[in-house]
Each structure stands twice: as structure tokens, then as C-alpha cells.
Chains A and B, each alone.
Chain A
């Protein structure tokens, strides 16, 4: 068939149609597409029109809206108290209390990364701006910190498109996020409440931060040993001085600026300051003193801090005001699964008792039902050790150990210990006392009822740990919450840099290393924060850090909401000979 013939045929067919029919067809076709596209775009938004927003929230107090919005965001609980229903992959129901906004977008709303999964920010300030690549072209560089690689460009959200994303899982470009983000079902009013909360999330600059300065303070409880205070302050001041020197150097020489702190945000130009907030008198008055300090000088965060005893009023103040406190040097931290703002170096003294419980649990079958006895000196340190043991031992499901508490001021004697052992015949004995336990424990040598192992606290023994009598070393096990000294030398060089030119004997070797942690973690976190200096984001950022290896602790680890950095403790024995070494008898963390 010839081409012309086909053309003729077609023109004959089309020629049969009148021009009116053609335009009808055209109009129908376009109407069809227009309706289809409009329906696809507008269908999800009908329930959440912006015009309705104010009407939906009319009569509600702003503080109440934010409280309810925060509860949806953080706990997955709707204003009526019911769990927020979510659907993974668009159809599979998942309870919002298991899996809500905060799980991935974190408390600050500024997003997270884990492995190569990146969750973008979800706060109004960022959502209502279009997303461009971080640095043009950087989306082609495969590097985790360049989060633009993983986040596609998108236009600015509006209230309507944001509501549509939350309820349908489609973003304004039509891209579906349902493979990782649940689609949440909620009423138009609840949606308005949640979005009102997102609008305020990481929105206004945190107190203590401006374009030229970030203010910090450290809390010192009066009466704390001056050498301990000096040891806490020195590494932190060292870090702040170094940062400020770099800021000056960078302002004079752009090549210096290229070398470090300019890597994210405007950190190069910002100076740090550190104030000392000294708390005096009884701890009941500390809250007011802290209020006064804060009123005069709002700070972004507290760094370190030190006390001989109580810390709880400072912890509570930080919770109330939402002020982060990085690594206060305290023996008795507040133990909480939910509190957010204070990050402790460890769980304190009680961590040794917990480690002892896990260690004994690992060998419990060998005890064949024989008892376990704790002898507890009547002081705070021994009681904290005993409580750590008791609570962890209960978690493992064993019957409670026999607790024998010495009278106030009483020290353990050989006679008393022998009586206890003869009566209880324990398989294992825990003695929470200082060096006065050593002669008493020595008297058990050769006795028929001598327990298989005696456990004491390495930190409570202090320097006497190195003076454990030779005959006791075989059955005395000690908790030791640090890296063993012989292994710490190669990590210790960094901490010693802080002390360069200073007389070492004026410092407490443990505290200076604990405080070194504050300096290092703060620096790392600020570099990761991309100029977003928000208090919750500081803690979120630390929560996303990989395990860190510094002097003193075998390992410090973080995770969202984890608030005790060092989680381990070795069980050790003192080796034989005149210059003995500590010998490891357990792993860093015993489960």
C-alpha cells in the first residue's frame, strides 16, 4: 500500500468528522487530564485545608497546643490519649507508641543518620524552605556527612503538602516515602496540632548562642577538693582557649580557617566563653542560686561540673530549663531512663556493683544454690555499690543476696568476718568497704568455710588496691571501672597534652581524664552540627556518635537517649610478685 493511499484514507476518516466534533474531543481530553491531575494532587489535602487551620485550633491555648503536639511527636499519643495509628508501607498497621516521629527525626527534629540511612529534618523552619544540594555538585560525592547525597531536591513545603506527606506518604514532588516512613492517620484537628508543634521545633535560637559567641558555664559545689576542681576545669578551659585562639588565627589567616572549625556552619567566627557557677550552702538552696546565675547569664550548655556528694538539684534544674550538661564529675549520678539533659561519664559508683552482679550471674550454676552475702559499710559509697549489685541481681531473677550492714562508723574486723562466713557459708562474698577489709579478708586464708571468691571495689580500695596481700590475691576479685593501666599508656598521651608545663601532682589523674572527655565530645559534636546550635540537637548529635576511645575508660558509647557514656567495668585480680599488674578476669561489659 502506498503512503499516499494511507494518508488519503486517514484524511477521509478524519474528514468525516466535523470541526465541532474535533474540538469537543479536544476539550474532553484536556478536561479528563486536568481532572485526573487535580484529583491526584488535591485528594489528600481536602481534610487539611489551611483555611480550616485556625478554626480547628480556635479557643486553644498556644501552650496547650504545643504540649499536645509534643506528645504526638515524642510519644505517639493523640490528644484524646489514644495511640497514633500508623501504617507502614501504606497498609500494615503499626502502633504510634512503638514508632513515632521522634524515633527517626529525633528530639530536635533536625534528623538523623544511621549507617547509610539518612532521615531529613522535620521542623517547620527547614520544611518551609526548598531543599537544594548542600553545596552545588556535592550530591555527586559519596560521603556520609554530605547528607545532600541522600536527600533529593524538593520545593518548599506548605501546610497542605506537609499534612499530605504525613497522612499519605507522598512529598510535593510526588515521591513516595512509605517504604521507611509510616503514614499516620489523624483527624484534621490533630494534624493541625502536630504541625503547630513542628513549626516551633528548633525554630528560635537556643539561649546562650548568638552570631559571635556561645556561652557555657560549669557548676562547682563549694567545699569540693580544690585539686579535683582544678582537674575538672583544666581540660575544659584548655579546649575553650584552643577554640578561641583558632578563631583569632582564622580571622587573621584564611588558611587556618580552612584547617578546622570552619568545616561546618559559622563555627570559625564564634567565640566560646566559660563561666563558673559556684553553689554554696545546703543543696536545698541550689535551685534558687542556679536560677539567679541563669537569669544573669543564660548559657547554651553546662560543661562538666563537680561535687563531692549530691548532684540531683543540678540535674533537676537542667531538666526543667532544658539545658544540656556534658559529663559532670559525680560519684552518684541520677539514674533515669527518661531524663534527657545530663550526660554522665558513667553510672558512677553503683556501676561497679552492677558489674559484680553480672559477673556472678555468669557463673551462678557453679554455686549450686549456696548463698551470696554482701557486707556493706554504713556510708554512701558502700550503699551505692550494694544497691547497684542488689538491683542488677534482682533483674537476673536470682533470690536476693544476704545483706549485712555494718553499724555507723564500724569497720570490718577479722573476727566479725569469720563469724559471718561460719554462719552463712556463702559461695561468694561481696565486701563493700575501704582498705580496712584487707586484714579481715586475709584472716580467711586456710579457713574451711572460705568462700570461693571475695569481691571488693577497686575504686573504694583506692591506692590500697596495689597493696593486696599476696595470700589474698588468689581469691580477691576487684571491680575496676577503667581501662587497665598497662593498656592505657597509648591513649593517655592526649590527656597529658592538657597538662603540658603543669605540675602533675596537683591534679587528680582520674578526674582530669574524665573531664578530657567533655572537651573532646563537645568539639566533635559542634563540628557535626552544621551550624544548627540547638540544645536538643547537641544531645541528638552526640547520640549519633560512633564508639569513642579516649584515655581512662576502655570505651565510651552513645546512642539516642543513652545518658551514661562508659558502660563497662572489668573484674580484675592483682597479679603475683612485688610489682604486680592487674589481671583481667572479665570482659569490659559482662552480660
Chain B
């Protein structure tokens, strides 16, 4: 019997028990409908759980970092003062990669390449910076070759430098690792005139990276 003060759950359970009474003599029709509903629910749950699992591949936080005053070298061999190199008048994105990296860097760099594609003709309105974590091997020539492979456009710089200076930059971003083979995926986004960086820790798919860039304000 359904009474006024029963909760919705109680009411549903009553209806359910009335529809499918727990006796062996439950009609065949009801059993078939019951299983069909179960299959639908299982399909729905598996789809939603797959989608929510994808969302858990990275974490996003907002952080404040103090940049070290170090001189790094770009893909053209030019020495750049890192502090001044980070623009304040346009969005900047920073990641840590290396020239011969296998799994993580191609995904991060595909994200950069896609963002540049989406920016259209004026790719320089967002400054993309990749910093090598393998300065021993990554000479400017290696960096240049890497950017060429990803068909980079103006606005994407790849920096190397002394191991000491690269370590200082990594520490400043709270991204230091003991060895390049302990590499993990990190992306940082800062909008114009902002002090705060959006820190994204983990492997983003390219569409997630584009969505995060948009969320941070990059149009």
C-alpha cells in the first residue's frame, strides 16, 4: 500500500515489488521486460562510467610561481632571459618535453600543434613554450628539427639551456624530476596580466587540452 508520507524510494520499491513479485510464478513477460531494462541500465552505466574515467586522467589546479632569472636558448640558438621571455600581454602555455621522448611528448606536442591550427593565421597571439628536460641531447638543432616535425608555426618556442638552469625552471614550476625517464605530463597556462598559472597534471587528450585552453580564456 502506498501512503502519503512514504519516500519516493519506498514508493518505487513497492511498485517494483508489485510489478515483479518475488515469487517463482513471476510472469514470463515481466521477466523479459525486467532483463531488457537491466541490459539497458548496464549499457547506460558502462557508457557513463567510461566517460567519467576519462575525466580522471588529469588534475587541474591554480598556482602561483616565482620564475628564476636564468638564460635559456631557443631553437634558433638565441639566448633568452626566461623571466622576460614569458609574455604578460598575451596568454602563455608552458610544457616540459624532450626531443627523443616516446609516449608523453607526442601527445603534448600534438595538443600544441592543434591549438596553433585552431588559432588560425595569427598563431603568435598565444605564446607556446616547450622546455626540454634533456638538455644534454637537445641542442638547438635538435629542437628545431622537433618543431619542424610538428609543423610548428610562429609563436611556439622550444628552449634548452644548462642542466642547472633547466632544473631551476622545473623547480620553479614545482615540476622537478630526478631523471627524464621519470617524466610526467604537465601543462601550465597563464592569461595576460594574471599572476596565477593553471596547472594541469596528467595526460590530456588533445581535445581536453583545447577545452582546458578555452576554459582558461584562450579563444
Interface centre among B102, B178, B206, B207 (most CB of A within 10 A): B102
B61 close to A (CB within 8 Å): no
A115 touches B104 (CB 8 A): yes
Give min CB distance, B178 to chain A, whole Å.
Answer: 8
List the B side residues contacting A90 at CB < 8 Å: 207
0/1 per residue, B13-30, Cβ < 8 Å to A?
011001101000001010
Name which of A96-104, A224-232, A272-280, A519-527 contacts chain B: A96-104
Contact of A119 among B2, B57, B77, B103 (CB under 8 A): B103
Give min CB distance, B108 to chain A, whole Å.
Answer: 11
B182 touches A89 (CB 8 A): no
User: For the complex, what is the distance from the CA of A591 to the CA of B136, rounded to whole Å?
Assistant: 8
List the B side residues contacting A58 at CB < 8 Å: none
User: For the complex, what is the distance from the CA of A90 to the CA of B54, rounded to whole Å?
Assistant: 13
Give min CB distance, B179 to chain A, whole Å.
Answer: 4
A591 touches B73 (CB 8 A): yes
Give min CB distance, A559 to chain B, whole Å.
Answer: 4
Q: From known contacts A99-B110, A178-B205, A568-B136, infer whether A104 and B163 are also in contact, taking CB-CB under 8 Å.
A: no
User: Which residue from chain B places its CB closest to the CB of A29 in the assembled complex?
Assistant: B36
User: Which residue from chain A places its CB closest to the CB of B141 in the assembled complex?
Assistant: A395
Contact of B181 among A89, A104, A115 (CB under 8 A): A115
Interface centre among A91, A180, A182 (most CB of B within 10 A): A180
Give min CB distance, B22 to chain A, whole Å.
Answer: 13
Name which of A42-50, A402-410, A539-547 contacts chain B: A539-547
Contact of A117 among B21, B103, B180 (CB under 8 A): B103
A561 touches B100 (CB 8 A): yes
List the B side residues contacting A10 at CB < 8 Å: 18-19
A140 close to B (CB within 8 Å): no
User: Which residue from chain B places its CB closest to the CB of A540 in the assembled complex?
Assistant: B102
List the A side residues contacting B181 at CB < 8 Å: 114-115, 544-546
Contact of A103 among B27, B39, B102 (CB under 8 A): B102
Contact of B208 among A89, A94, A182, A560 (CB under 8 A): A89
Q: From known contacts A98-B113, A99-B110, A560-B102, infer whether A180 and B203 are also in contact, taking CB-CB under 8 Å.
A: yes
A269 close to B (CB within 8 Å): no
B136 touches A555 (CB 8 A): yes
A60 close to B (CB within 8 Å): no
Q: From known contacts A14-B29, A561-B100, infer whether A115 and B135 are also in contact, taking CB-CB under 8 Å.
A: no
List the B side residues contacting A117 at CB < 8 Å: 103-104, 185, 203
A559 touches B100 (CB 8 A): yes
With an 8 Å Cβ cutoff, the count of chain A residues facing the other chain is 59
User: For the complex, what is the distance from the CA of A180 to the CA of B102, rounded to whole Å?
Assistant: 11
0/1 per residue, A85-123, Cβ < 8 Å to B?
000111111110111000110100000111111010000
Q: From known contacts A29-B36, A104-B103, infer whether A98 and B149 are also in contact, taking CB-CB under 8 Å.
A: yes
B162 close to A (CB within 8 Å): yes
Contact of A395 among B1, B101, B140, B208 (CB under 8 A): B140
List the B side residues contacting A567 at CB < 8 Å: 136-137
B54 touches A179 (CB 8 A): yes
B136 touches A589 (CB 8 A): yes
A371 close to B (CB within 8 Å): no
Q: From known contacts A98-B113, A115-B104, A545-B181, infer whether A91 and B39 are also in contact, taking CB-CB under 8 Å.
A: no
User: Which residue from chain A places its CB closest to the CB of B101 in the assembled complex?
Assistant: A114
User: For the complex, what is the distance from the CA of A543 to the CA of B57, rounded to whole Å?
Assistant: 27
List the B side residues contacting A544 at CB < 8 Å: 102, 181
Q: From known contacts A29-B36, A395-B141, infer whether A557 and B182 are also in contact, taking CB-CB under 8 Å.
A: no
User: Which residue from chain A places its CB closest to the CB of B72 in the assembled complex?
Assistant: A591
Residues of A at the B interface (CB closer than 8 Å) are 1-3, 6-7, 10, 14, 22, 26, 29, 33, 88-95, 97-99, 103-104, 106, 112-117, 119, 176, 178-180, 182, 361, 395-397, 543-547, 555, 557, 559-562, 567-568, 587-591
Q: What are 17 pairs between A and B in contact, CB < 8 Å?
A: A88-B205, A91-B207, A92-B206, A99-B106, A104-B103, A114-B181, A115-B104, A115-B184, A395-B139, A395-B141, A559-B98, A559-B99, A560-B102, A568-B136, A588-B163, A591-B140, A591-B162
14 other A-B residue contacts (CB within 8 Å) besides A179-B54, A544-B102: A94-B110, A97-B149, A98-B151, A103-B102, A117-B104, A179-B208, A180-B103, A395-B77, A395-B139, A546-B179, A546-B182, A562-B100, A589-B135, A589-B162
